[in-house]
Amino acid sequence: MGLEFDYMREAMERQHISGDGYFTRHCHAFLEKELGVNKVLLTTSCTAALEMIGILLDLRPGDEIILPSFTFVTVANAFVLRGGRPVFVDIKPDTLNIDPDLIEARITKRTKAIVAVHYAGIACEMDRLLAIGHSFGIPVIEDNAHGLFGRFHGRALGSFGTFATQSFHETKNITCGEGGALIINDPKYADRAEILWEKGTDRRKFFAGLVDRYTWVDIGSSFLLSDLLAAFLFAQLGSRDRIQALRRRVWEYYFSELSALAASFSIGLPFVPDDCENPFHLFYILLPSEFARDELIDWLRAAKIGSAFHYLPLHLSRMGLSFGYKKGDYPVTESVSGRLLRLPFYNSLSQTDQDRVISAIEDFCASSPAIWRAKAGQ
């Protein structure tokens, strides 16, 4: 905790705790400068920012959005809400990001966007995705919920797409409990984005003195984040270096301490390509089989260590099946989803606690040879 309480008190003293206040403007300026982006609007969530994109793209029923199946549900739902159809693409087995080689075959006349989700904050191949988008005239959107302060070829994630979204949910590196941001890199969408954000009115123009009254001019909703939460967020952004340093230490310790074990037992560790800068959002391992992964979860639970997995492939969910997808459609996604395990990862995780996690995994490997023999059959 840094200045969160002080800034929230200041927001109250300023008597402006609704949206678009003093701290919101500070967060906008901070993010615009740090990420080198054209325009930022704080939203109530990353999901809300994705929903705004669905409106800005004038999505019509039957329009298609290309996205990975290995991702969070709202990446699909924000567009499905407007009648869009999710068109899934498989991921690459190394970075677990959307596979650029598989995208072109999925593009049709109805494709309205390609969503690049930077899994674990490791960049998608943005040069290739932007080239595909450019050649078909389709905007690329970055879901950068995991990737705040990550980089690709030295450039901040969130600065590549026509739009990008951030999440400040409690589970993310920088948080205000619930919150998000829409980044608008193509200035042609900027005015309309402000109108949608302000419930479909030109209220922002009114406060800027550009119109003499404000009125209903478009569809929209209330997407603004309370300035009380923006105050909390601004304190978090100010602690960025401290937070990122803590997370880096946790990530690098897992990586170095697990390397030898991973090599002997065919356990996959995160892959960070040379042209990517890691923002240290999460740490996962990939077990050789789903059976081994589930056994390890139980083993860790018995040692009172909480681990987690994600994502159940969207194409195999009840909603995914209703769009006609079936098992076998995205083999890498299905395999990774069954084998991935996320280790405990938070800012205050001590090295002693990490050592407990690491020894428990070592003990598991040493005591369960059958699991590794079963590997070929899984």
Ligand X SMILES: *Cc1c(COP(=O)(O)O)cnc(C)c1O
258 forms part of the interface with ligand X (CB under 6 A)? no
C-beta separation of 300 from 140 below 8 A:
no
CB of 256 to ligand X, least distance (A): 26
Among 143, 198, 257, 277, binds ligand X (CB under 6 A): 143
The residue within the footprint of ligand X, chosen from 25, 28, 155, 169 (CB under 6 A), is 169
Q: Determine, following the binding rule CB under 6 A, whether residue 27 of this chain makes contact with ligand X.
A: no
Site for ligand X in 108-127 (CB under 6 A): 117
Q: Which of 66, 145, 182, 286 forms a contact with ligand X (CB under 6 A)?
A: 145
Does residue 100 contact residue 337 with C-beta atoms inside 8 Å? no
Is 163 near ligand X (CB under 6 A)?
no
3-state class (DSSP) for residue 305: coil
Q: Are strands 163-167 and 180-184 parallel, antiparallel or unpaired?
A: antiparallel
Residue from 97, 159, 167, 226 binding ligand X (CB under 6 A):
167
Nearer to ligand X, 45 or 173 (CB): 45
Structural contact between residues 370 and 313, judged by C-beta atoms closer than 8 angstroms: no
Contact by Cβ (8 Å): 272, 284: no
The burial class, CB within 10 Å (0-12 / 13-18 / 19+), for 224 is: buried
Task: Provide the angle, in degrees to the nearest 10, between the axes of the packed helices 227-238 and 240-264.
Answer: 70
Dist CA 257 CA 255 (whole Å): 6
Question: With binding defined as CB under 6 A, does residue 97 bind ligand X?
Answer: no
Quick one: 145 or 230, whose CB is closer to ligand X?
Answer: 145
For residue 47, state whether it binds ligand X (rule: CB under 6 A): yes
Q: In whole angstroms, how close is the CB of 257 to ligand X at the nearest point?
A: 26
State the Cα–Cα distance between residues 54 and 270, nearest whole angstrom: 32
Question: Per CB under 6 A, does 162 bind ligand X?
Answer: no
Q: Does residue 180 bind ligand X (CB under 6 A)?
A: yes
Q: What are phi and psi of 41, to 5 degrees?
A: -130, 120
Which ranges of the chain does DSSP label H, i.e. alpha helix? 4-13, 22-35, 46-56, 73-80, 126-136, 190-197, 203-207, 227-238, 240-264, 290-302, 318-322, 331-339, 351-367, 369-373
Nearer to ligand X, 51 or 64 (CB): 51
Choosing from 8, 41, 46, 124, the residue that interacts with ligand X (CB under 6 A) is 46
- Looking at beta carbons only, is 144 or 159 nearer to ligand X? 144
Task: Work out whether 74 is an interface residue with ligand X (CB under 6 A).
Answer: yes
- Tell which one of 71, 95, 289, 337 touches ligand X (CB under 6 A): 71
Stretch that binds ligand X, among 41-49, 105-113, 195-203, 321-329 (CB under 6 A): 41-49
146 binds ligand X (CB under 6 A): yes
Residue 340 is a binding residue for ligand X (CB under 6 A): no
* Least spacing, CB of residue 176 vs ligand X, in Å: 10
Residues 6+ apart with CB under 8 A from 290: 338, 339, 378
CB closer to ligand X out of 72 and 265: 72
Residue indicated by tokens 């677990």:
96
Nearest distance, CB of residue 378 and ligand X, angstroms: 27
The distance of closest approach from Cβ of residue 117 to ligand X in the complex, given in angstroms and rounded to an integer, is: 5
The one segment of 69-77, 96-104, 189-197, 297-305 that binds ligand X by CB under 6 A: 69-77
Which residue carries 């999925």 as its tokens? 106
- Closest distance to ligand X from the beta carbon of 153 (Å): 21
**d(C-alpha 265, C-alpha 288), whole Å:** 8
Phi-psi region of 120 (alpha: psi -120 to 50; beta: other; left: phi over 0): left
Alpha-carbon 168 to chain mean position:
10
Interface residues toward ligand X, by CB under 6 A: 45-47, 71-72, 74-75, 117, 143, 145-146, 167, 169, 180
